[in-house]
Structure 1
Amino acid sequence: MDIITMIIYLVLFIIMMVFVFSIGMLRQYMPKREIILVLVVAFLIGAIGGAFFLDPIYDELPNVVAAFEKSMPNNEETLYLDLSSSIDIDELRENLTGTEGFRSFKEDSITIPMWTFNEREHNYFEEIVGNIDYNYKDYNITSSEIKISLEDNYTSSEALKSFSDWYKLVYGDTISYAQVHAILVVDSTSLDTFEQNLLERGIVATSIEGPIQNSVNNTNQSMLTNTEFTLVCGGIGVVVAIIGIYIDSVVPAYRRFRKFTNDKRKR
C-alpha cells in the first residue's frame, strides 16, 4: 500500500470519528435512554471504519518494520536454499557472487533419496557411509534418505559423484539426483534483489534468518488478529462518542479548574 492511500484511509476514518463525535454532542436533544443507542451506533461505525480503513494499514505494519531494518547498514540475512542437483550450481554461485550485497554462498549438505530401509539396511548404511569419502563432514540416515554434511570447499556435485561411484560398485546402479542444501548470506539492504534473482530461477528460500525476518516475526506475533483490531476500533468509536456526549460538561469544568489554579497562584 502506498503512502497516499494510507493517508486517504486515515483521513476517512478521522471523518467518521468526527461524525461519531457530532452524534454524541446531540445527546442533550435526546432522551437519556437513547444514550445506549448512540454508543451502539458509535461502536458499529468505529468497527466498520476500522475494518475498511485502518485494518489494511495495520496489516502493512510488518512491511514497514522490514523496510526500516533494510535501511540499517551492516545487517545480514541468511537464506537457506533447497536446490535440485540438476541445476548448474556453479553458474548460480557465479551469478550470486557478482550481485551487489553478496556476502557468502556455501553448499552445506545433500540429501539423497533412497528406498525404505529395513533395519539391516539401515544399520549397514550407518556403518559404511562415513567411510565412502573423508570429505563427508557428518551424515544422518533416516528411514528412506541419506543426508550428508559437506566439508568446506567440497561441492555437492563431488559428494554426489563419490557416493554414486560407491553405490554403482556395490549395487551395480547409479544415483544421479540429490537435493542440495545451500546457505546464502547477503546484506539486508539487498535482500529483495537476491530474492528476485532466485525467483527468476524458480528458487524460493526455505527459510530466512536475520534482523529483517526476526523483526517481521516478532511484529506478527505481537499483532492483534483482524477481529480483535476491529473490536478495538469499535471501542475507539465508543470513546469518541462519550467525549462528545460529555463535552458540554467537561469544557466548563476544565475552565473552572484553570481559573481556580490561576487564582491560587496569584495568592
Structure 2
Amino acid sequence: METIFVIIMIILFFLLMAFVFSTALLTPLIGKKNFLFVIGLGFVVGLIGGAFFIAPVYDDLPDMARGIYMSTTDQQETITLNISTDSDVNKAIADVKNIPGVQSVESGEITVKTTGISSAWKSNLESRIPSANTNITSATVVSSDTLMVQIKPGSDPTEVIKKLKSWLLLISGINIKYSIVQVKVVVDASQVDSVVKQLPQGEVVVTEINGPVEKEIQTLKSTIPAKNNVILFCGFLGVLVGLAGMFIDTIISGFKGLKNRLRKKKVN
C-alpha cells in the first residue's frame, strides 16, 4: 500500500473521531438518553472507521514493516525457486544470476515424479541411483511415485535428469513423468522485492523467502493483535472520544485546578 494512501486512510479515521467529538460537544448533559446516544454513536462510528480505514492499513502492516527492515539492513535473504526441467534450467539460472542484487544462485534438490515404484525397488533404487550419474550425491524414495534427488553444487540439473531417466528405464522399467529443480538464490535483503519482480516470468516459481527480515516479519505477525480486536478497539476509542467531548469542560476545569494547586505548592 502506498504511503500517501495510508496517510489518507488514517486522516479519514481521525476526521470520523473529530465528528464524534464535535457531536458530543453539541449534546447537552440533560439526562441519561444523551449519554447513551454519545456512547452508541462513538462505538458505531469507531467500528466503521476501524473496518474501512484502519483495517486495510493493518492488513498491510507486515509488508510496510518488511519494506522498512529491507531498507535498513545489510543482511541477506534466500529466495527458493522451483524450475521445471522441461524448461531451459541453465538459461533460467543464468538470467537470475544477472539480476542486480543477486549474490549467488545454486541448484540443489530435484523432485522427480515417476510411474509406480514398488516396495521391492525402494531400498534398491536409493542405494543404486548415485551410480547413475556422478553428480548425484543421494536419492530418497518419498512415496510410490516420488523421488528426491540431491545433486552436487554447480551440476547441470537437466543433464542429470536425462541420464537418470535413461538409467531408471533401463534398470527398473520406471519412467520419469516430470521433475522440478529447487534453486536457492541469495540476495541483498534490500533488493528482495526488486529481484522477485525481475525473475523470468513463466519459468520460475517462488516457493519461499527466508532470512533475518522474514524472521522479524513472522515475529511481528505473532505479536500483533487480531484484526477484529483492532476494529473493536476503534469502537471503544470512539466511545472515549465521545465521552471526552461531553465532559470536556469538566476535564479542562480539572486540569486548571490541578495546575493551580501545583503552583500554590511551589509558592509555599
Q: In structure 1, what is the Cα distance between the partners aligned to 2:250 and 2:206?
A: 60
Q: In structure 2, what is the Cα distance between the partners aligned to 1:260 and 1:173?
A: 92
Secondary structure of the residue that 2:206 maps to in structure 1? coil
Q: Tell me by how many angstroms 1:141 deviates.
A: 0.7
Q: Tell me by how many angstroms 1:24 deviates.
A: 2.7
Unpaired runs of 5+ residues, structure 1, are none
Q: Is the 8 A contact 1:164 1:174 kept in 2?
A: yes
Structural mapping, 1:77-156, within 5 Å: 77-143=77-143, 144-156=145-157
Quick check: 1:259 aligned with 2:260?
yes
Quick check: 1:66 aligned with 2:66?
yes
Note closer, same or farther for the CA distance 1:172–1:240 as it changes in structure 2 (3 Å cut). closer
Secondary structure of the residue that 1:103 maps to in structure 2? strand
| Counterpart code for 1:263 | K
Give 4+ residue runs of structure 1 displaced > 4 Å after superposition.
171-176
210-219 or 110-119, which deviates more: 210-219
Q: Is the 8 A contact 1:62 1:220 kept in 2?
A: yes
Secondary structure of the residue that 1:260 maps to in structure 2? helix
User: TM-score scaled by structure 2?
Assistant: 0.89
Q: CA RMSD in A?
A: 2.2
Q: Tell me by how many angstroms 1:203 deviates.
A: 2.2
Note closer, same or farther for the CA distance 1:92–1:126 as it changes in structure 2 (3 Å cut). closer
Secondary structure of the residue that 2:153 maps to in structure 1? coil
Counterpart of 2:240 in structure 1 is 239
Q: In structure 2, what is the Cα distance between the partners aligned to 1:222 and 1:204?
A: 30
| Counterpart code for 1:213 | E
Q: In structure 1, what is the Cα distance between the partners aligned to 2:4 and 2:166?
A: 62
Of Structure 1 and Structure 2, the greater strand share is in: 2
Note closer, same or farther for the CA distance 1:170–1:5 as it changes in structure 2 (3 Å cut). closer
Quick check: 1:180 aligned with 2:181?
yes
Q: Is the 8 A contact 2:92 2:200 kept in 1?
A: no
Q: Tell me by how many angstroms 1:257 deviates.
A: 1.4
Q: In structure 2, what is the Cα distance between the partners aligned to 1:172 and 1:36?
A: 80
Q: Is the 8 A contact 1:109 1:156 kept in 2?
A: no
Secondary structure of the residue that 1:148 maps to in structure 2? strand
Q: Tell me by how many angstroms 1:214 deviates.
A: 2.5
Q: Is the 8 A contact 1:164 1:176 kept in 2?
A: no
Counterpart of 2:170 in structure 1 is 169
